[in-house]
Amino acid sequence: MAKAKVLYYCTECGNETPKWQGRCTSCGAWNTLVEHIEKPVAAGRAKSAPVGFSRTPQKLSQIDGDDEIRFSTGMGELDRVLGGGAVAGSLVLVGGAPGIGKSTLLLQICKSLCNGRKVLYVSGEESEKQLKMRAQRIGTQSEELYVLSETRLSDILEATETVKPDILIVDSVQTLYREENESAPGSVSQVKDCTMALMQLSKTEGITVFVVGHINKDGAIAGPKVLEHMVDCVLYFEGDPTSSYRLLRAAKNRFGSTNEIGVFEMADCGLVEVPNPSQMLLEGRPEGASGTCVACVMEGTRPVLAEVQALVSKTSFNVPRRTADGFDFNRAALLLAVAEKRCGMKLSAFDAYINVIGGLRLDEPGADLPVILAIASSYRDSVIPSELVAIGEVGLTGEIRSVSNMNQRLSEVARLGFKSCIIPRNGAERLEIPEGLTVYRVRNLQEAIATAM
């Protein structure tokens, strides 16, 4: 009889090693290796295959691709992040911190999904009565919605075979377990085995599967990193626990863009869509305060306005402090160096703090100019007009470079009532400037700072 094989899995990247190590040789993380004992599979069990999972090769030219495989979830913000709606036969992983609203979001979309479709909602964390109470609170009632409180995977697959749903929702994957695997639920091997079985079910039966995944203290999906490679779409539900607003973004999407975001507000009746996130992000802007500037960035196909704040104060340390929240730290250090070299600001003797209001993260180059203008405003203690928006990428020589989708950005700026906008001079001749909006074209940082202040 074959002996059990002992392996060690890295919980960060899923790398396997035959012996324990303090540091993973693949991703470099410390103390992330966990033990897993692989039991030998019996000969009779190895020969058998799951019912319905056998497939035969098909010619690509003979596969019918004319049918529409997308369908709406009933929430426009979620459809936007998914790339236009959910895809039939796809496996979607929804991750987020505890209590952020993952279960509420998935139970809420059941109200629309049940129109002409069967939905099976499986929860390993709540009983059927608890699901009934939450469904009544958020207004989800349908004869085509089936609920099941179960953690054993074989029972879930059996219930799926009985109900034959079009959509399967599993909350959460960390609570599932397979009887053949003797590891505890939530372990690396259990999460991997259960996700693989759900993926086979999704691809062979054409069932759209939504899986909830918890995140660890570093903000990544708990379990092996290979989990994110197995699924078709990875959605992260983010938000400040002290705020009622939530951001939904795609970290991976095989059927759409990963740049789109969806904005929701947590209310008593569930999650409410926020169709105008710019207005939400600009609420409560200070009047007559230095160190603040409005940026316009593109989140996929949607222009979003956000307030960038900076605080520059004289340091009491030998090495000045640098902090960036909602903005890349290395990019912030680069912009501080450019501002000191090209604009004559002695920032090496000052602490600098950068913050993006509303929990949004600005990752695109178009946010460079408003960040430097906010820094210059705080450094000079000079106020930037509240009706001004800045757009542009900053180079190492201090030049302002053009960015994409400028016409869409300017339309959004004018729609929200701003009167003036600073943009790069290059590429400005092809612009369609909205009525009532004054556009200032600048070549470098010196011109931009002089225009803004």
What average pLDDT score do residues 375-393 get? 95
Res. 320: pLDDT tops 90: yes
Q: What backbone torsions phi and psi does residue 404 show, to the nearest 5 degrees?
A: -80, 165
* Structure confidence at residue 222 (pLDDT): 56
User: CATH number, domain at 300?
Assistant: 3.30.230.10
Residue 86 counted as domain residue: yes
User: Would you say the C-alpha torsion 241, 242, 248, 249 has a positive or negative sign?
Assistant: negative
What average pLDDT score do residues 171-180 get? 89
Strands 322-325 and 350-356: parallel
* Structure confidence at residue 43 (pLDDT): 47
Q: Is residue 294 a contact partner of residue 287, using CB atoms and an 8 Å limit? A: no
User: CATH number, domain at 222?
Assistant: 3.40.50.300
What average pLDDT score do residues 116-128 get? 91
Closest CA to 87 of 296, 282, 255: 255
Residues 32 and 156 in one domain: no
Per-residue CA distances from 298 to 72, 122, 392, 418, 438 (Å): 24, 37, 12, 17, 21
Residue ranges making up the domain that contains 377: 280-452
The two tokens of residue 327 are 């903005």
Residues 397 and 263 in one domain: no
Strands 33-38 and 70-71: unpaired
Residues 117 and 80 in one domain: yes
**Domain total of the chain:** 3
The two tokens of residue 188 are 């690396």
Q: Label residue 450 by pLDDT band (50, 70, 90).
A: very high
* Structure confidence at residue 51 (pLDDT): 44
Q: What backbone torsions phi and psi does residue 232 show, to the nearest 5 degrees?
A: -85, -30
Q: Label residue 188 by pLDDT band (50, 70, 90).
A: confident
Closest CA to 255 of 377, 400, 90: 90
Residues 124 and 254 in one domain: yes
Going by the DSSP 8-state scheme, the letter that residue 269 receives in this structure is T
Is the pTM higher than 0.85? The answer reads no
CA distance 207 to 178: 20
Span of 3-7, 95-99, 184-188, 334-338 with lowest mean pLDDT? 3-7
Res. 191: pLDDT tops 60: yes
Tens digits of per-residue pLDDT, 39-88? 654 544 444 444 444 567 888 887 776 555 889 999 998 998 998 899 99
What average pLDDT score do residues 163-190 get? 87
Q: What percent of the chain has pLDDT over 70?
A: 90
Residues 390 and 319 in one domain: yes
* Structure confidence at residue 47 (pLDDT): 40
* Structure confidence at residue 49 (pLDDT): 43
Residue 58 counted as domain residue: no
Res. 323: pLDDT tops 70: yes
Residues 94 and 160 in one domain: yes
The per-residue pLDDT of the chain, averaged, comes to 86
Span of 14-23, 48-57, 129-138, 146-155 with lowest mean pLDDT? 48-57
The two tokens of residue 32 are 């992330």
